[in-house]
Amino acid sequence: MNKKFIMNTYSRFDVTFDYGKGCFLYDTNGKKYIDFASGIAVNSLGYGCKKIENTILNQSKKLLHCSNLYWSEPQIELAQKLCNNSSFDKAFFCNSGAEANEAALKLAKIYAKKNKGDNCTKFIAFKNSFHGRTIGALSLTGQDKYQKNFTPLMSEVKFAAYNDINSLKECLDKNVCAIFLEPIQGEGGIIPAKEEFLKEVRKICTENDIALIFDEVQCGMGRCGKLFAHQIYNINPDIVTLAKAIGGGIPMGAMLANDKFASSFGIGDHASTFGGNLLACACANVVVDEILNTNLLKNVAQMSAYFCEKLNKLKEKYSFIKDVRGLGLMLGMELDINPKDVVNNAFKEGLLILSAGSSVVRFVPPLIIDKKVADEGFFILEKVFKNIKGE
């Protein structure tokens, strides 16, 4: 195949995958790979999930797309499930995490303009964060490497230090309309928020009528052990954004909000042609049902403990491993060597893992993973570490 027609926007591995089964991927040469990456936290139900396959088949026979000018049963059903199992009242559906974050930006801004005045347009985000690559989402992303070629961006964004309430307070003024954060920073290096910090942020937002927005694009949908990551902390944001795993592999995003903020959107204030597409919503209903009605979350808890045990044993053996952290099956191993060397060598041996930030190897396997598959992956990972150490 001639690859010259694809824009050079990804540093791609020299592989073309053909199919997947469970927690394994197979390339066009038939080589098997153990997947600890799940399409960057997307394929939470693994590969070849019969419920997803049957849903795609059945929905494709009925209707793939009509328009949001009309109602659709899969969309209504999904919105009800998400709201009934959270503190939110309304849902808006789109196609990606960046789009969900753009929708949240607009909702916070229109609420503030209607209730606090035209000058209330500022946002507070956090250093080391990642919220997407569209201009609005990029403006909230606290990493220069993503922003530098696209400036000027939105000017009314201040960046506080993550988990530092005093740094946040220094950014506050009467014209802040929203505080935007990841409960667990993903691309920034798998850094969980501290509960005390989130409680203080919630208090500040409530007292100052500021929208608290959680980006759960990577950490939501069961990945951290609950349907929503913020449920682990017992702290409710006003708005949450979702994507990645929600569609079971079909492109899908969502923004949920409580009535106070959701009511600010009127007809024509925001829209998405493909948002809430029948096929995407039908698949998302399967994902949510699996999270809520099976042992999937129990498996996340059990396998999270198992992964942490394995990772910490490696930490004890190899001095270049500095930290193990994360929640659920969103885990990171901080190294004082280049994590990309680990990722690249693991790939050669048939294990797919990811880097995060400048020093972290990231583990986001399918949520269906079991100990047998995990052991296969950790056997390869230790082989890579032994080679690095020169054993």
Calculate helix-pair angle for 339-349, 371-389, nearest 10 degrees.
Answer: 120
The residues near 156 (Cβ < 8 Å, ≥ 6 apart) are 121, 122, 123
pLDDT band at 388 (very low <50, low <70, confident <90, very high): confident
Segments of the chain assigned to CATH 3.90.1150.10: 17-46+295-389
> What's the average model confidence in pLDDT over 306-318?
97
pLDDT in the model for residue 174: 96
Segments of the chain assigned to CATH 3.40.640.10: 63-293
> What's the average model confidence in pLDDT over 148-175?
96
User: Residues 240-299: pLDDT tens digits?
Assistant: 999 999 999 999 999 999 999 999 999 999 999 999 999 999 999 999 999 999 999 999
CB 239 within 8 A of CB 212: yes
- Cα–Cα dist 138/148, whole Å: 10
Calculate helix-pair angle for 278-293, 50-62, nearest 10 degrees.
Answer: 150
Is residue 390 scored above 80 in pLDDT? no
Is residue 391 scored above 90 in pLDDT? no
Pairing of strands 351-352, 354-356: unpaired
User: Residues 20-67: pLDDT tens digits?
Assistant: 999 999 999 999 999 999 999 999 999 999 999 999 999 999 999 999
User: Residues 67-91: pLDDT tens digits?
Assistant: 999 999 999 999 999 999 999 999 9
Is residue 1 scored above 80 in pLDDT? no
Q: In Å, how far from its chain's centre is CA 355?
A: 15
Mean pLDDT score of the chain = 97
What would the two tokens of residue 179 be?
A: 């505080």
> What fold does the segment set 17-46+295-389 form as a domain?
Aspartate Aminotransferase, domain 1 (3.90.1150)
pLDDT in the model for residue 356: 97
Is residue 231 scored above 80 in pLDDT? yes
Return the number of other C-beta atoms located less than 10 Å from residue 84's C-beta: 9
> What's the average model confidence in pLDDT over 151-156?
94
What would the two tokens of residue 134 be?
A: 């569209």
Pick the CATH number of 63-293 from 3.50.50.60, 3.40.640.10, 3.40.50.150, 3.10.20.30: 3.40.640.10
- Cα–Cα dist 164/230, whole Å: 18
Q: What is the pTM assigned to this prediction?
A: 0.96
Which residue, 104, 145, 111, 110, is CA-closest to 125? 104
pLDDT band at 3 (very low <50, low <70, confident <90, very high): confident
